[in-house]
């Protein structure tokens, strides 16, 4: 069965999810994203994929199936990461509730209903399931159940799966084949501060320490995206006073402290440095700017480069990005870490393979013992 399955990627971005599924052995057939630069990046990395650089609401399920050469949805796996800023805990409730991107989750549901894929994997911010988006998430699960899909979901930390980054994400898996027993991928790494037999979390040092030194505003002569944003003199001074390996603004002299920080104890990640021997904080679309988070290099007086951000997201160096500095930073920060997607893909593939083996060995097993979620 697995050899016949192909991927349809909704809200595909530059291709983080697609890369992980491709690494797990699934062919990438169709992708859709409204961002032109992200779509160009996708095209250059997946030349055999049909890419729609378009609003998903104007594309029918039939068009997606036809574009991928699918006879029906049973030959397809749908992966999706609808824009999630509307459910992010980093925004005010008034902004989150009114964000029009919240409605894009319904486009995912529409495509599931029109295509009826064998399985799907949806990734999003935890707030969709546990925060302000929970009522909507309950509706989504109910609708999926009505469409005949069994589902499992969890909020995971990407660092537990080998990504050198602390990033909590909601992962939802589903299938309309009741014989497939969905499982989550096993964790591969653990917080070094806990008792565990697993290897410790991957660190910033492991991901980026081998890259050549560059200054703020410079680009490596051998790697076009090992480049760092220019900094104003006052921000360079601030970084010089920020201790290496995890320092923050609390070490600045009074004359360098921003007015908005003088009477505030929070937001200490802003202008802070990453720690060498710990995973990075969550990459965002502003990951190339020290004013957007703890995106300072552990010891060099600059923000991390685009290459460093890409590595912290587990993009291999051969992956290509199209766009200017800000556009590439946004593509990297908004992407699903490919390694997390690969772990999910491998788990899904294992579940499908397990079914095939069981049916070959015990062809009447599921007729005698039908699968029921209530019995799990």
**More confident of the two residues 23 and 89:** 23
Do 79 and 141 sit in the same domain of this protein?
A: yes
pLDDT (average), residues 243-264: 90
Tell me, what's the pLDDT at 217? 97
Residue 326 counted as domain residue: no
**More confident of the two residues 166 and 92:** 166
**Residue 196: count of CB within 10 angstroms of its CB:** 13
Tell me, what's the pLDDT at 261? 82
* Residue of 340, 39, 4 lying closest to 163 (CA atoms): 340
pLDDT band at residue 371 under the 50/70/90 scheme: very low
pLDDT (average), residues 109-120: 98
CA distance 166 to 293: 13
What percentage of the chain exceeds 70 in pLDDT?
89
Residue 320 counted as domain residue: no
Give the count of domains, the chain.
2
Last residue of a domain, one of 304, 327, 346: 304
Residue 346 sits in which domain range?
2-192+337-375
pLDDT (average), residues 46-70: 97
Residue 329 counted as domain residue: no
Q: Which of 27-31, 43-47, 208-212, 263-267 has the lowest mean pLDDT?
A: 263-267
pLDDT (average), residues 21-48: 98
Do 50 and 126 sit in the same domain of this protein?
A: yes
* Residue of 198, 197, 179 lying closest to 188 (CA atoms): 198
pLDDT (average), residues 116-141: 92
Last residue of a domain, one of 258, 287, 304: 304
pLDDT (average), residues 49-62: 97
Q: Is 84 a residue of the active site? A: yes
How many angstroms separate the first and last alpha carbons of the chain?
24
Residue 331 counted as domain residue: no
Do 231 and 120 sit in the same domain of this protein?
A: no
Tell me, what's the pLDDT at 359? 64
Residue 207 counted as domain residue: no
Residue 287 counted as domain residue: yes
49, 81, 84, 287: the active-site residue: 84
Tell me, what's the pLDDT at 180? 95
Do 22 and 103 sit in the same domain of this protein?
A: yes
| pLDDT for residue 111 is more than 70 | yes
CATH number for the domain that contains residue 181: 3.40.50.150
pLDDT digits (tens, 9 = 90+) for 312-331: 999 999 999 999 999 999 99
If you write DSSP's letter for every residue of 218-275 in order, what string do you get?
-EETTEEEEE-----HHHHHHHHTSPTTT--GGGS-GGGS-GGGTT----TTTTPBPP
Q: Is the pTM above the cut of 0.95?
A: no
Residue 24 counted as domain residue: yes
Tell me, what's the pLDDT at 357? 72
H or E segment at 359? helix 338-361
pLDDT (average), residues 15-29: 98
CA distance 74 to 347: 18
Residue 270 counted as domain residue: yes
| pLDDT for residue 102 is more than 90 | no
Do 216 and 86 sit in the same domain of this protein?
A: no
Do 26 and 156 sit in the same domain of this protein?
A: yes
């Amino acid at each position: 069965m697995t050899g016949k399955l192909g991927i349809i990627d909704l809200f595909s971005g530059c291709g983080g999810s697609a890369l992980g599924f491709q690494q797990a052995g699934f062919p990438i057939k169709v992708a859709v994203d409204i961002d032109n630069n992200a779509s160009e990046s996708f095209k250059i990395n997946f030349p055999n994929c049909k890419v729609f650089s378009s609003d998903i609401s104007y594309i029918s399920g039939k068009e997606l199936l036809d574009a991928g050469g699918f006879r029906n949805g049973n030959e397809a796996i749908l992966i999706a990461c609808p824009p999630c800023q509307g459910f992010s805990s980093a925004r005010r409730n008034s902004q989150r509730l009114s964000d029009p991107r919240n409605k894009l989750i319904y486009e995912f549901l529409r495509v599931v209903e029109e295509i009826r894929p064998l399985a799907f994997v949806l990734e999003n911010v935890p707030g969709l399931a546990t925060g302000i988006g929970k009522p909507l998430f309950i509706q989504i699960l109910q609708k999926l159940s009505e469409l005949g899909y069994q589902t499992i979901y969890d909020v995971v930390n990407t660092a537990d799966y080998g990504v050198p980054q602390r990033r909590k994400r909601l992962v939802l898996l589903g299938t309309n084949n009741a014989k497939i027993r969905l499982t989550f991928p096993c964790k591969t790494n653990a917080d070094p501060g806990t008792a565990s037999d697993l290897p410790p979390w991957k660190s910033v040092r492991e991901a980026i320490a081998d890259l050549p030194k560059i200054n703020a505003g410079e680009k490596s002569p051998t790697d076009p995206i090992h480049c760092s944003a220019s900094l104003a003199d006052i921000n360079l001074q601030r970084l010089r006073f920020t201790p290496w390996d995890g320092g923050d603004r609390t070490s600045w002299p009074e004359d360098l402290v921003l007015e908005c920080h003088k009477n505030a104890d929070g937001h200490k990640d802003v202008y802070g440095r990453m720690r060498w021997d710990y995973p990075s904080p969550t990459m965002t679309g502003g990951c190339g700017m020290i004013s957007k988070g703890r995106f300072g290099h552990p010891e060099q007086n600059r923000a991390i480069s685009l290459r460093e951000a890409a590595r912290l997201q587990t993009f291999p160096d051969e992956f290509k990005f199209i766009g200017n500095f800000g556009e590439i930073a946004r593509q990297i920060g908004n992407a699903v870490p490919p390694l997390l997607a690969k772990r999910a893909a491998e788990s899904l593939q294992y579940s499908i393979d397990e079914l095939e083996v069981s049916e070959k060995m015990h062809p009447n097993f599921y007729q005698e013992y039908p699968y029921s979620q209530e019995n799990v």
